[in-house]
Amino acid sequence: MDEGPADADLLDLLIVGAGPAGIATAVEARQAGIQRILLLEKGPSHSFSIEKLYTPGKRVDKVYLGQAVDCEGAVCIVDGTRETVLETLDGFVRQYGLEVRSGTEVASITPLEGGGFEVLDARNTRYRTRTVVIAIGVYGRPNKPDHPIPSSLKGLIHFDLTEEIPPGESVLVVGGGNTALEYMEYLYAEHPVTLAYRGTEFTKANGVNQRILQNLEAAGQAVVWRNAGIATLRDAGEAPRAEATFKDGRIARFHHVLFALGGTTPEGFLRQAGVELDGKHPRVDHRFHSTVPGLYLAGDLVAGGKGSIVKAFNTGRAVVWEGLCQDHLECRIPGTGEKP
């Protein structure tokens, strides 16, 4: 039988994901006097989705399409650019001395019989912690295409940009939403890039990304294929090896294929940790506490709505002050600097 964590190697809080929600949760926890905090990030740095998908100078709004959402906690940003947002988030990491372990993918979260959790990463490193917050976003499990992908193309087929694609190698980006357009915008400077979308209009993408697409296409800096659904994908045997046959009959080969078909709640990962789901949505209370004592969710998994960084920040405040500090960890009384 698993026992609860021993004090010698015990974290107070382990946060899975170091994007805006993960950072906000950690900052709130620091302000509450919680000391032993660790953030595990799958990407090579914190806030990786913003760093990777937003090109230099790109506008970043704190709320989606002007929604009326105010910052409720200690973490907030103003409308700005990729650079100002990353600088702000990096400032929070430095100011609060947050430890972020990058390049670390969590494989499992196991509740222990005596309380607390054991967390195992993909390198078989084990962490023991009193509480866990999962802040990985809905794209923790990207959607897959409905056609087979040859196993021999492993390393050439991608579902995110956590791995570098060598400059000069051609890339087929598949999808028609914001993520697909942002991938194309990121890649075109160093790669021949083709965007294939099964529809005709990019109505799923916001106005900023649609204008960028129009400009790149008009300037001949990217190729855009509409009504271009993929029928089959096969290994051609020699570079470029990824050969796509489209439903309109055209055939083309690429060094890499990058699918951007959206994402869904990472059901398997959550269920493994014991989290109950209502359909595809995790079951949480108003504090974002899951059905597993001491395990909370933050950010896109529970925030609701589209693309609001502030909503993600606010979930971190609720998790800490209304959840962790009430039921699981000893915290300072806000504004006093003292512990209760």
DSSP 152: G
Closest CA to 299 of 14, 16, 22: 22
State the pLDDT confidence band at 161, using cuts at 50, 70 and 90: confident
Intrachain domains 7-140+263-327 and 144-259 with the same fold? yes
CATH pick for 144-259 out of 3.30.70.100, 3.90.950.20, 3.30.70.1230, 3.50.50.60: 3.50.50.60
Contact 299, 7 (CB under 8 A): no
Contact 41, 17 (CB under 8 A): yes
**Looking at the whole model, is its pTM more than 0.75?**
no
Percent of the chain scoring above 90 in pLDDT: 59
Residue 312, pLDDT score: 87
Spans of all domains in the chain: 7-140+263-327, 144-259
- pLDDT tens column, 255-286: 999 998 865 557 778 888 899 988 778 899 99
Residue 8, pLDDT score: 54
Q: Which amino acid is at 308?
A: S
Q: Mean per-residue pLDDT for 199-207?
A: 86
Residue 3, pLDDT score: 44
State the pLDDT confidence band at 5, using cuts at 50, 70 and 90: very low
Q: What is the fold, at CATH topology level, of the domain defined by 7-140+263-327?
A: FAD/NAD(P)-binding domain (3.50.50)
- pLDDT tens column, 80-137: 888 998 999 999 999 999 999 999 989 999 999 889 999 999 899 999 999 999 998 6
* Interaxial angle between packed helices 20-31 and 82-95, expressed in degrees from 0 to 180 and rounded to the nearest 10: 30
Q: In 3-state terms, what secondary structure has residue 22? A: helix
Looking at the predicted structure, is the pLDDT value of residue 337 above 80? Answer: no
Closest CA to 117 of 14, 34, 204, 38: 14
Closest CA to 73 of 278, 319, 306: 319
128 or 337: which carries more pLDDT confidence?
128
Looking at the predicted structure, is the pLDDT value of residue 54 above 90? Answer: no
Contact 98, 34 (CB under 8 A): no
Residue 65, pLDDT score: 47
